[in-house]
Amino acid sequence: MSMTHTPGDLLRIEVILAMPLVQYRQVLDVPRGTRAREAVRLALEAGLLPPGAEPDISPMHAPLGVFAEKVDDDYCCQQGDRIEIYRPLLQDPKELRRQRARQSIS
């Protein structure tokens, strides 16, 4: 049995995966009540990653956020949300700033 949704039942969101050299973005219309991790699954099914793309993370297991705020998998998506799939940091941002400060002093 398929469900039909009226326009008022749907939310427009986007799912983002930013890699060092490229950013992947998928805009979706999802039913109200869609959770963050489900939105990632739907984005992957809709073509978030092009054929052959192999990111260095697993989008279905990576931490998620909405507009730079970390959220749980069961976060309920809202109209206009930007679901972000986070990659592990390669270096602590505080340590990186310290190193830059030291370099600018020398």
Which residue stretches of the chain are H helix? 36-46, 93-105
Average pLDDT value for residue range 15-40: 96
Higher-scoring residue by pLDDT: 84, 99: 84
Among 12, 23, 13, which residue's Cα sits nearest to residue 82? 13
Q: How many domains does the chain have?
A: 1
| SS3 call for 7 | helix
Average pLDDT value for residue range 2-23: 83
| SS3 call for 22 | coil
pLDDT at 27: 98
Query: d(Cα 101, Cα 81) in Å, to the nearest integer?
Result: 36
**Is there a domain that residue 66 lies in?**
yes
Q: For the domain that residue 77 is a member of, what is the CATH number?
A: 2.170.130.30
Average pLDDT value for residue range 55-60: 89
**Is there a domain that residue 76 lies in?**
yes
**Is there a domain that residue 2 lies in?**
no
- Parent domain of 45: 7-105
Q: Of the given ranges (32-41, 44-53, 74-83, 93-102), which has the lowest mean pLDDT? A: 93-102
**Is there a domain that residue 1 lies in?**
no
- Decide if 18 contacts 48 (C-beta within 8 A): no
